Amino acid sequence: MPDSLDGELLKALLDEASLPRAVQGIAANLVERLKQTVSGILVKDFKFSTPDHFRIALGPSLENDSTKTLKFFQPLRIHVVGSAAAGGCLKTSPGVGCTVVDVAVEVPKEFFQEKDYLDHRYHVKRMAYLQVLQQHLESADWVASSVYSTHHADVRKPCLVVKAKKPGDVCLRVLLTIPVHTFPSARLHHEKANLRNLEIQNDERLPSPHYNHSIIEDMFMDEHIKYLRGAAETAEYYEDACVLLKVWAAKRGLLGAPDGFNGFVLSMILAYLIRSSGKLSPQMDAQQLVKGALSFLSNPATLKAGFTATGVKQNVASWRSMFPFIFVGPCGYVNIGARISRSAMDEFIHEAARSSSLLERGGRTAFEQVFLVSLYPAMRYDLHVHVKLDRSDNTAVGSCEGDIVSWRNHEKTIHDLVTKAITNRAKLVRVQHQPFVNSSDIRPMASFTPTSSKKRKHAEEQDAEDETDLFTVWVGLIFDPEHALRLVDLGPSSDNDKLAKEFRAFWGDRAELRRFKDGRICESVVWDSIPLNKRHHIPALATDYVLKRNFSSTESVEWSCNLLDPAMGMKESDSKESSPIALIQCLDRLAKRMKDMKEVPLRVVTAQPISPAFRGTDPFPPRQHQLAFGAGIGLGRSDEQMPVCPKTLDVVVQLEGSGRWPENSMAINKTKAAMALKIAEQLRSSYATPTIVTEEATDVLHEGYVFRLHINSSASGANNEAAEKYLIKGAAHAAVIATISARFPVYGAATQVAKRWISSHMLAPHIRDEVVELIMGYLFLHPGAVDPPGSREVAFIRFLDLLASHPWNVLPLFVDPEDEFTLADMQNLEKKMDSSDASSMCIATPYDTEGDLWTQRGPPGVVLKRAQALASRAAERLKVLLQGKNRMGHKLSGSFMNNLLLGDASAWESLFTPALMHYDIVLKLRRTALPFPDQALFSAKQIKKRLVKELGVDPDSFQIAEHGGKRGLQLAKMPEKVLTRGPEKARAAMLIGFDPLQSYLREAERRLGGTALLFADKFGGNLIGVALKPKMEHHGVQLPASLADFDPLGDFTPPNPPSVDEVMDELLFIGVGFVSDAYKNSGKHA
């Protein structure tokens, strides 16, 4: 993308995200009102009793929780702090939906006693002072609400969120601060112990660094604001850079996690890089500053070493044993990164590295991918694990009995255990207490909210919801594709007794001593007993086992890698014999036979597989058929039912070149048929291989499969190449997809899920398989600022997001494995999209530079819009399932998702259930007339329930006798009567490659013309949706009504559009024996 366009995008982004001057004025007025209200509070004595929630959370360290008499003093100062004061404030705080302005209320030193820094005394008095402010603000006429929140989800540090009646899009967050000399800074050093209930080791009480930090950060807030203002004065574009960096973090869900980086930390880091380290020049523009900052933050060694903004060299070694991330502020006493956990730091480094790398490489969409695309955790992590903790544990209230909030210790324990269990299977392990809060300081706490009669019920509901969430810890893993699914976890050598005992204690019964091929004898954990179709469960199984064994608080573990298993429904036996490797090996054996043929006019050069099953993208690859093993064998191989219509495997057979081919296409096709006939005769005579020859293709029954051979003679000149355009393009497509599948092991499984979803929503007649494969291929080849998908779940949600959000009618999608497209090529194709006859989708590839090979006949614009709406809804639902109940996502319409959890057996149904209420007519097909009814997602009972619920069908109207009588197509199973006649008779009765659904759809579309659009699920679905076009265009319609006004002796009078009943009757007529019934949507057509 040209720099000028990057500059335009940056300007638009900053205009949208930055705090406007008008809003700054509104915030200043609100602060003045706050000052006036607080100034009206008189100096007085007041009685304070510690709230139950607060007292329980602080635990036994709280000395005396009886009612106390305290004296209230007027604040020394009330002033704006944070980014609203120093610059770089976001217009809308993530997770809140409005502008949040931080306001510091400085509590006088006289309000505290000399030793109040001990045993939570400071926090109790701080709470008391805040309660007085809250009571007066509640009675102020300009205040709409004043609720308690927590500072970084730390229950010790409550604050107030004040919202005015007008305007309602700005709120104030009231933070209490204290003067610098309130307590001795030396007593709050990170190595000091100020909690008497901590353990004693070596005659010394353990230090309380996090507790000390919670106090001393209130003393030096002004120092930090001055430091930020200094950076803004030094660098002209510092404020814009702060906004851009915060937008980058917010797009990834990184901003404001309780244990992660917030806006203040990012602003301080940027200021440090400009003022103290010299890493960034004050003359840089905003984009250069952020690019340099991301490059700096992407270096693990730099970030883990720690740094200081004091201006003098300071030893941070003493801090390193207390905190994972060290960033000593300008005062020298406060670690600005004290709350940041190791997993949050690792996540930030990983995301910064991906973004920095993309910006460094450049490209047309680099800026857009880094700063404009939303990449919430569900789209970034390959495996999502929800760990339910024991409900009796005090993590439910965020206990602060120790130095740190109790659930933070649980996060660390889980992170350490999972990291040890997974080892190098994952590049990143992120552990976070739920609910996700993408601005954790703005979370109302029902426990502190006054329970008036109007609010008590709401508070109880909110409390119940929060209580449920507090027992869950979310774990996210980004896989290393090379090691993620390995079968052996190698442990220490048997010679090392100490490490071997530790390994066995950690893994328990799973550990075993093994001798390996290289002679080593090591402890190990082996997963080879896991079935082939469940190997993607291995990382989750390891996590599940280790947590339940080594962490007693674990109640249950739910994981995402089994979420889509019920929708795919492949058996272990099928996954082995129908795997791409097995199919290609089978084809190689057949190809060798064809290449060895001597008595053919032209020698066979290659046999190229082109069916999706060969590249692992077919959700239901062909199974071995008992009648396809050769002449006279196959029957009795198993008791499984034999389908009448076995699926075919398409193969392009390339012949050697010759100059004797005819010139016109018809003669070429006749000659190719003769060539195929000769190949078939040779296979029959030499190997007794059954074959079926037609002019279009040749079916070869080999080792249980049906290979459909397509002769390719393009090596013989331009005439042959023109006659075989689509065959050549299909082979080129197969080669591109096979390359992608070989590079990315997860691609095949992910594409299967996407095809299954497209078909389940009955879009398969309009969106070709090739389109789905290319869209999914784009996600792997061009992942943007994230890693390529490492699991089918993350690939699926990215597929849904891309399908829903890409402007298909404006921008082409370039699937370019070798970066062959030039900038001029891209711009020319974009111009062609502006023409009125352009297809609704354009997907350009090296073999199809125009991008319309697979989309020129569909999908229609209205179908594409429906697909986008369905994809958007499914993406939101999948996001909720993967991330759990949280406040990072958008609210979904309807309440059914509120109680849906990742481990629920029916969770997948919310993604794959089709909506029937939008169709005018729904046809129900005979299940026995479908070749593979066992592939259906839903049972007949579930289908009937949906027809009753969505179409208003009378339950009593379902007839036992189906339309067309009991006799009809029977394709699901080969009749026993035929099988008893022997293999040859049974083989002759097979309808190879016949698809009655596609045949019916073609005939129905021919008869209906432009009257309606038909929708169906090609994978075992027994419903067809019929949507009548609004204008009832019926050109080419062959309904009987179309001929009603035809006068042979006069002019043709255009017929009236057919009615819904006429359309339904016609569809029933042409589907006799195949369609069992038709239902009219009573909501649309009463």
Is 59 in contact with 400 (CB distance < 8 Å)?
yes
The first and second tokens of residue 734, run together, are: 């197969």
pLDDT at 747 over 90: yes
Angle between helices 747-760 and 725-743 (to 10 degrees): 120
* φ, ψ (nearest 5 deg) of residue 464: -65, -40
Strand (E) positions, 422-509?
426-433, 472-479, 488-493
SS3 percent helix, strand, coil of the chain, rounded to 5, is 45, 15, 40
Nearest Cα to Cα of residue 796 among 425, 382, 429, 478: 382
The first and second tokens of residue 927, run together, are: 């299940």
CA distance readout (Å), 608 to 46, 651, 653, 735, 803: 87, 6, 6, 9, 30
Give the pLDDT of residue 399.
63
The first and second tokens of residue 243, run together, are: 């906004």
CA distance readout (Å), 972 to 372, 624, 899: 50, 15, 38
Distance of CA 748 to the CA centre of its chain: 17
pLDDT at 397 over 50: no
Give per-residue pLDDT as tens, 924-935: 999 989 999 999
Helix, strand, or coil (residue 921) = strand
Tokens 């649309």 correspond to 1084
Q: Which amino acid is at 781?
A: L
Give the pLDDT of residue 362.
84
Read off the pLDDT band of 1003 (50, 70, 90). Answer: very high
Give per-residue pLDDT as tens, 509-525: 999 999 988 889 999 99
Give the pLDDT of residue 108.
95
State the CB neighbour count (10 A cutoff) for residue 361. 8
Phi-psi label, residue 285: left if phi above 0, alpha if psi -120 to 50, beta otherwise: beta
**pTM for this model (two decimals):** 0.91
Is 800 in contact with 871 (CB distance < 8 Å)?
yes
Read off the pLDDT band of 398 (50, 70, 90). Answer: low
Give the pLDDT of residue 469.
45
User: What is the bridge-based pairing of β-strands 648-655 and 705-712?
Assistant: parallel
Give per-residue pLDDT as tens, 520-552: 999 999 998 888 889 999 999 999 999 999 998
Give the pLDDT of residue 961.
41
Q: Which helix or strand (DSSP H or E) is residue 556 part of?
A: strand 554-559
Nearest Cα to Cα of residue 867 among 774, 757, 992: 757
Q: Rounded mean pLDDT of the chain?
A: 85
* φ, ψ (nearest 5 deg) of residue 327: -140, 90
Is 699 in contact with 707 (CB distance < 8 Å)?
yes
Give me the percent of the chain exceeding a pLDDT of 70.
87
pLDDT at 447 over 60: no
The first and second tokens of residue 724, run together, are: 């075989």
> What is the Cα–Cα distance from 884 to 836, expressed in whole angstroms?
44
Give per-residue pLDDT as tens, 292-350: 999 999 999 888 888 888 877 667 788 888 899 999 999 989 999 999 999 999 999 99
Give per-residue pLDDT as tens, 8-56: 889 999 998 888 888 888 889 999 999 999 998 989 888 888 887 777 7
| Mean local confidence (pLDDT), 835-864 | 88
Q: Which helix or strand (DSSP H or E) is residue 555 part of?
A: strand 554-559
Least confident residue range of 89-98, 482-491, 731-740: 89-98
Distance from the first to the final alpha carbon of the chain: 54
Helix, strand, or coil (residue 72) = strand
Read off the pLDDT band of 401 (50, 70, 90). Answer: low
pLDDT at 285 over 70: yes
pLDDT at 124 over 70: yes
More confident of the two residues 723 and 1060: 1060
Give the pLDDT of residue 34.
93
Give per-residue pLDDT as tens, 349-375: 999 999 999 999 888 889 999 999 999
Going by the DSSP 8-state scheme, the letter that residue 159 receives in this structure is E
Read off the pLDDT band of 1053 (50, 70, 90). Answer: low
Give the pLDDT of residue 903.
75
Least confident residue range of 194-203, 581-590, 694-703: 194-203
pLDDT at 411 over 80: yes
User: What is the bridge-based pairing of β-strands 307-308 and 204-205?
Assistant: unpaired
Nearest Cα to Cα of residue 163 among 53, 262, 30, 5: 30
Residues in the chain: 1086
Give per-residue pLDDT as tens, 767-817: 999 999 999 999 999 999 999 999 999 999 999 999 999 999 889 999 999
Q: Which helix or strand (DSSP H or E) is residue 1063 part of?
A: helix 1060-1070
The first and second tokens of residue 396, run together, are: 């439910």
Beta bridge partners of 145: 163
Is 746 in contact with 789 (CB distance < 8 Å)?
yes
pLDDT at 461 over 70: no
User: What is the bridge-based pairing of β-strands 307-308 and 327-328?
Assistant: parallel
pLDDT at 467 over 50: no
> What is the Cα–Cα distance from 259 to 263, expressed in whole angstroms?
13
Q: Which amino acid is at 589?
A: R
Nearest Cα to Cα of residue 102 among 111, 110, 93: 93
| Mean local confidence (pLDDT), 481-500 | 92
Q: Which amino acid is at 643?
A: P
More confident of the two residues 740 and 978: 740
Give me the percent of the chain exceeding a pLDDT of 90.
51
Give the pLDDT of residue 392.
62
Helix, strand, or coil (residue 335) = strand
Q: Which helix or strand (DSSP H or E) is residue 388 part of?
A: strand 383-389
Give per-residue pLDDT as tens, 641-686: 688 999 999 999 998 888 788 877 788 888 888 889 999 999 999 9
State the CB neighbour count (10 A cutoff) for residue 510. 17
Give per-residue pLDDT as tens, 939-953: 888 898 888 888 888
pLDDT at 588 over 80: yes
Least confident residue range of 418-422, 692-696, 955-959: 955-959
> What is the Cα–Cα distance from 509 to 529, expressed in whole angstroms?
14
Nearest Cα to Cα of residue 705 among 654, 646, 635: 646
pLDDT at 732 over 60: yes
